[in-house]
């Protein structure tokens, strides 16, 4: 493996750790406050996602036009600035939106720099290293970030800012390589053309809509858990909620490891089965009432979700590489997925403002996921083009 990969691995780990730590720090801030309403946390998540939707046509082009290592540094500094606003007591909705803008800029540069650092025959291995370090960072960031925030919000935010700056500093050791490509077409117009071209076949539509359903369900379930856990399981701290989310993440890892031999790309249609199971498990979770029942069902939800999203992502990458290009496909995938997450979280934000029971909200999410999966699967023609 090229030694230039190692600074990227470390920088990505620190940045992903801080991303998840800041989320649970904000959750702890809301849970410790007596003046913030139940709809505030899903509203925060919505503000984070908006940046991915608004900037989707441009962030990919920025990462391609300039040295991706410099883009990673700028993105980390933007996220650090958002954490700094939280530390200064600025409105969390505004501060967390700035963190989202940094994350939206970071994503295409992170994935786009790998082909520049790894040789072709090592690219899959490099991707697996990045994904592995990211998953580890997510798990540790959730749990340790929540525990630190429960102890001291002030110390947690200072630590997060340090991590973002440290990630930016380590990124300086990654070689910069800028592109000389000139873009004569408006990025907005080109983005629209890419969407039209990508959605031209049933297989690509199934992949992009399937991925969108997964992320809508995952993002909405995460914010519902924040209201559901104190209501049903009597959870009182961000750490307890982070530990619940941990079982969901572990399940995704297990499902991701099991799926390659079960659902190859040639049989992508099979992904509808774990998607349906995920929906049923979400409905089952709404009926649980004890901690270990909830942890077990969350593990099953994650396992089914991992078996669903991994082949869908692989199909998207393959289709993108063969049509509009892998970079453009990542940007478009981010756009659709974040629009879906924004819609799901916004609906729950409205439900929270109307004091809808979180159990009813969770049951409704499961029913919607099941119905959407059935509709998309039914619309797929039963031909070799989609198998």
Angle between helices 92-112 and 40-54 (to 10 degrees): 40
Query: Is position 7 within any domain?
Result: yes
Of the residues 152, 175, 198, which one is the last residue of a structural domain?
175
Residues 171 and 137 grouped into a single domain: yes
Of the residues 155, 175, 195, which one is the last residue of a structural domain?
175
Under the banding of pLDDT at 50, 70 and 90, the label for residue 87 is very high
Residue-wise pLDDT tens digits, 335-359: 888 899 989 988 888 887 788 889 9
Query: Is position 343 within any domain?
Result: yes
Residues 220 and 132 grouped into a single domain: no
Residues 89 and 130 grouped into a single domain: yes
Of the given ranges (89-93, 162-166, 331-335, 369-373), which has the lowest mean pLDDT?
331-335
Residues 141 and 14 grouped into a single domain: yes
Contacts of 386 (CB under 8 A, 6+ apart): 202, 203, 206, 268, 269, 380
Under the banding of pLDDT at 50, 70 and 90, the label for residue 21 is very high
Higher-pLDDT residue of 305 and 329 is 305
Q: Give the best-scoring range by mean pLDDT among 85-94, 179-188, 205-214.
A: 85-94
Residues 225 and 151 grouped into a single domain: no
Under the banding of pLDDT at 50, 70 and 90, the label for residue 386 is very low
Which domain range does residue 53 map to?
1-175
**Number of domains into which the chain is organized:** 2
> Encoding tokens for residue 43?
């509203």
Residues 97 and 207 grouped into a single domain: no
Of the residues 125, 140, 175, which one is the last residue of a structural domain?
175
Contacts of 367 (CB under 8 A, 6+ apart): 279, 283
The domain that holds 10 is classified in CATH as 1.20.1250.20
The per-residue pLDDT for 139 is: 84
Residues 346 and 252 grouped into a single domain: yes
Q: Rounded to a whole number, what is the largest CA-CA distance in the chain?
A: 59
Contacts of 47 (CB under 8 A, 6+ apart): 93, 94, 96, 97, 100
Over range 292-305, report the average pLDDT: 93
Residues 59 and 86 grouped into a single domain: yes
Residues 129 and 255 grouped into a single domain: no
Residue-wise pLDDT tens digits, 140-162: 898 899 899 989 999 999 999 99
Residue-wise pLDDT tens digits, 156-208: 999 999 999 999 999 998 876 665 555 556 777 877 777 787 777 777 787 88
Residues 215 and 254 grouped into a single domain: yes
pTM recorded for the entire structure:
0.75
Query: Is position 75 within any domain?
Result: yes
């Amino acid at each position: 493996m090229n030694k230039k990969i190692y600074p990227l691995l470390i920088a990505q780990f620190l940045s992903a750790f801080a991303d998840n730590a800041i989320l649970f720090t904000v959750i702890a801030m809301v849970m410790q406050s007596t003046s913030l309403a139940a709809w505030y946390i899903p509203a925060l998540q919505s503000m984070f996602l908006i940046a991915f939707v608004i900037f989707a046509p441009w962030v990919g082009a920025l990462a391609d036009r300039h040295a991706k290592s410099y883009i990673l540094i700028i993105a980390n500094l933007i996220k650090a600035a958002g954490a700094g606003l939280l530390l200064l007591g600025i409105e969390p909705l505004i501060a967390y939106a700035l963190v989202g803008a940094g994350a939206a800029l970071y994503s295409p540069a992170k994935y786009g720099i790998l082909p520049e650092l790894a040789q072709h025959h090592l690219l899959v291995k490099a991707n697996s290293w990045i994904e592995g370090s990211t998953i580890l960072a997510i798990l540790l960031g959730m749990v340790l970030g929540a525990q630190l925030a429960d102890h001291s919000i002030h110390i947690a935010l200072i630590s997060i800012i340090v991590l973002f700056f440290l990630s930016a500093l380590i990124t300086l050791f990654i070689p910069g390589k800028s592109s000389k490509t000139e873009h004569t077409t408006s990025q907005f117009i080109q983005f629209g053309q890419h969407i039209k071209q990508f959605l031209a076949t049933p297989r690509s539509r199934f992949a992009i809509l399937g991925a969108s359903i997964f992320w809508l369900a995952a993002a909405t379930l995460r914010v519902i858990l924040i209201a559901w856990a104190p209501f049903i399981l009597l959870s009182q701290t961000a750490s307890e909620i982070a530990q619940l989310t941990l079982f969901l993440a572990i399940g995704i890892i297990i499902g991701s490891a099991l799926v390659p031999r079960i659902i190859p790309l040639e049989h992508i249609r099979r992904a509808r089965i774990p998607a349906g199971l995920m929906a049923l498990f979400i409905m089952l979770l709404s009926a649980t009432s004890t901690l270990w029942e909830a942890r077990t069902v969350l593990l099953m939800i994650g396992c089914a979700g991992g078996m669903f999203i991994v082949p869908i992502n692989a199909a998207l990458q393959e289709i993108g590489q063969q049509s509009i290009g892998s970079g453009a496909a990542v940007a478009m995938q981010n756009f659709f997925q974040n629009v879906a997450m924004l819609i799901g979280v916004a609906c729950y934000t409205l439900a929270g403002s109307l004091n809808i029971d979180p159990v009813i909200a969770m049951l409704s999410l499961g029913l919607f996921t099941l119905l959407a999966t059935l509709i998309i699967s039914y619309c797929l023609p039963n031909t070799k083009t989609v198998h």
